[in-house]
Amino acid sequence: MTGARRLPLSAWLGLGVIAISGAGMLARVEPFWSWHTPIAWTGYLFFVDGLIWKIRGESPIRNDRAEMVFMAIVSVPLWIVFEIYNKYTLHNWHYLGLTDVLLLRYVGYAWAFATIWPAIFLTAELVGSVRDRRAPAYRRQDPKRVPLGLVGWVSIAAGAAMLMWPIARPSPWLAAPVWLGFIFLLDPINARTGAESIRGDLASGHTGRLVNLLVAGFVCGLIWESWNYWARTKWIYSVPVPPDIKLFEMPLAGYLGFPAFAVECFVMYVFVRQWLWRGAWRPIAL
């Protein structure tokens, strides 16, 4: 029975990593003060994976390890897309406390970026497992294929325009089109090819994945910002979004972007996965 299943050792180890790194960061002890983000998020992945396993008896890291490695790898270039937008068009954040040793700096970048997509998706699956302790039947169904039609083509055109707008007219005020554009651009394509998609879910009358992703985005965003606040190596925002009231380093209005970012992570990953991944795939955020 689910209730009799114990939290696995990997989850306890992950929780221990989070606690040790957090204490070291607050005490300004290296390497935790400078490397808290990648260290703590690595612990978080194993902790959340263990919670999923306790509820469902199977989990991403324990049962679909190969795809999780693939996910961590592609998480790096997928996030770099947003770093490029920020550097050349948005100028919404910058980093402090980076090491002068270039090799270590890039190791830190890669390690931290590799945790982003896995963190969103494991959190979304945990939300789904709490909302429905049984593995829902929809997880075992093939994704619904949805023809593009007029709505799909309009969505693709709108997404492309949203992503091109900040490139044509760079401005720190144009973060929203970037955080939404890939959803409108890629989700209809994913649905057309028969991959997992929000459009396909809605056409089938299922909203669970969308809810799971929105909740996961907010939860991860809050954790990202709280862990970032006391770290030596951190990001600082220059987001011109009123009101000028911050929770940690992020203006309050900026937290609205995290749920959208989680959905964007989903559509971007599914788009890449269907072209590059040839192994067994795990339903995302269900």
Q: What is the pLDDT of residues 59-109, one digit of tens each?
A: 999 999 999 999 999 999 999 999 999 999 999 999 999 999 999 999 999
pLDDT at 100: 93
Asked whether residue 119 is assigned to any structural domain, the reply reads yes
Query: Residue 35 domain-assigned?
Result: no
Contact 51, 44 (CB under 8 A): no
Whether residue 114 lies inside any domain: the answer is yes
187-212 per-position pLDDT tens digit? 999 999 999 999 999 999 999 999 99
User: At residue 223, does pLDDT exceed 60?
Assistant: yes
Asked whether residue 38 is assigned to any structural domain, the reply reads: no
87 found inside a domain: yes
**Cβ–Cβ < 8 Å for 242, 283:** no
The beta strands (E) that lie in the chain are given as 93-96, 234-237, 246-247, 250-251
Q: What is the pLDDT of residue 249?
A: 87
270 located within any domain: yes
Identify whether 163 is part of a domain: yes
Q: What is the pLDDT of residue 2?
A: 46
Token pair of 35 as six digits: 């490397």
Mean pLDDT of all residues in 40-69: 96
pLDDT tens, residue by residue, 105-135: 999 999 999 999 999 999 999 999 998 866 5
Q: How many domains does the chain have?
A: 1
253 vs 242: CA distance, rounded Å: 7
Percent residues over pLDDT 90 in the chain: 87
% of the chain surpassing 70 pLDDT: 97
**pLDDT > 90? residue 141:** no
- Write out the residue range of the structural domain in which residue 146 sits: 64-276
Predicted confidence at residue 134, as pLDDT, reads: 60
For residue 225, CA distances in Å to 181, 220, 251, 284 come to 23, 9, 10, 24
How far apart (Å, rounded) are the C-alpha atoms in residues 31 and 97?
12
Residue 1's pLDDT band (boundaries 50, 70, 90)? Answer: very low
